[in-house]
Homo-oligomer: A and B are copies of this chain.
Amino acid sequence: MIVIMKPGATEENVTHVVDLVRDFGLTDHVIRGTDRTVVACIGDKRGVDKGAIENAPMVERIVPILAPYKMASREVIHEKTAIAIGPNNFPLGGKKVGIIAGPCAVENRDNLLRTAEIVRDAGCIGLRAGAFKPRTSPYSFQGLGEKGLEILAEAREKTGLAIITEVIGLEQIEVVEQYADVLQIGARNMQHYPLLEAVGSCKKPVLLKRGMSARLDEFLLAAEYIINGGNPNVILCERGIRTFEEYVRNTLPLASVAELNDKSHLPVMVDPSHGTGHAHLVPAMCRASIAAGADGLLIECHIDPEHALSDGAQSITPAALAETTKALKAIANAIGRDL
């Protein structure tokens, strides 16, 4: 941490800051510049709120130096981690790119089983669909619950696809873990700490979506919560952020994929469906995500988007899925990967 004093800070002001720094168990190092004095503080106290020093007289601001996450970072694990998912132990984060597709929600058994076959035939490795749905409005469709999970398990048995589904509260973790291969934490729950801690004691891998206004270090700290809880198998998923842009539901910032690959050893996926909100933009953003270095994709696909019970606007058709995965294979090959 570095404490930057305001211009005009007196010797007494600096001494006061030095005393506070020592109170925190850190070693101080005062540097007097042309216009200002800064106090560099040495020591590793990630858990202490050093912002408090900002309140001392004539302090302008505090610059933290250490990344506040550790186990999610490349500082601790240098090599990229591959996480085995599903009945076939697909190594997500390895050389092969993994595509997971499916409807927003399990609507009924027939539709889901038909979708599962389409998803498998398109070359995907997983099936996504919500059984418990977090909906912005209390009046919206809320999902089929455990019945939906049973249908998902049946689809896995029939197709060999890995099953990815969301947990929206502590009370569903047990039942979801019983049926699913990967537990999804949604964007709105990225900082719901009791849930992060709880999936930290699960055995199944966790797909953690970036919150729609989360900074990357907050995203990695949320992953850290899960790893810290005992579950090292965390998959990061970029799903777009909220900005002023109006032609999309969210702005999909793909530089985050490159930056996460640089900072963390965890696998990185992208959800171009929530990341755009409109089906016509999804294929281009699937291609761009893989080109940017994503290890996998999470795509909403519905056999009849016009009649989907939720997220219809951003669901692509089976035909579009098949065409997209074909293009993705070519792009993966172009950058030395495969599908």
Contacts and interface: CB of A to CB of B under 8 A. Distances in A.
A139 to B, nearest CB: 4
A194 B168 contact: yes
14 contacts: A20-B306, A36-B65, A46-B139, A49-B140, A51-B314, A55-B305, A63-B63, A68-B139, A168-B194, A215-B245, A217-B246, A251-B255, A252-B254, A334-B334
A51 B313 contact: yes
A287 interface: yes
A142 to B, nearest CB: 9
Contacts of A118: none
Contact of A34 (B43, B139, B228): B43
Interface of A: 2, 4, 7-8, 20, 23, 29, 31-36, 38, 40, 42-44, 46-47, 49, 51-56, 62-63, 65-66, 68-69, 75, 134-141, 168-171, 188-189, 191-195, 212-213, 215-218, 221, 224-225, 228-229, 241-248, 251-259, 262, 275-276, 278-281, 284-285, 287-293, 305-315, 327, 330-331, 333-335
Contacts of A4: 65
Given A33-B65, A245-B253, A251-B241, A55 B279 contact: yes
Given A49-B141, A69-B137, 9 more contacts: A33-B43, A54-B279, A54-B313, A171-B194, A213-B242, A247-B255, A254-B288, A258-B281, A334-B334
Contacts of A279: 54-55
B308 A284 contact: no
A248 B259 contact: yes
Given A254-B288, A312-B51, A331 B327 contact: no
Contacts of A138: 193, 221, 224-225, 228-229
Contacts of A134: 191-193
B333 A246 contact: no
Nearest to A1: B33
A216 B171 CA distance: 29
A225 B280 CA distance: 28
Contacts of A171: 170, 194
Contacts of A33: 40, 42-43, 65
Contact of A193 (B168, B242, B256, B327): B168
A261 B2 CA distance: 25
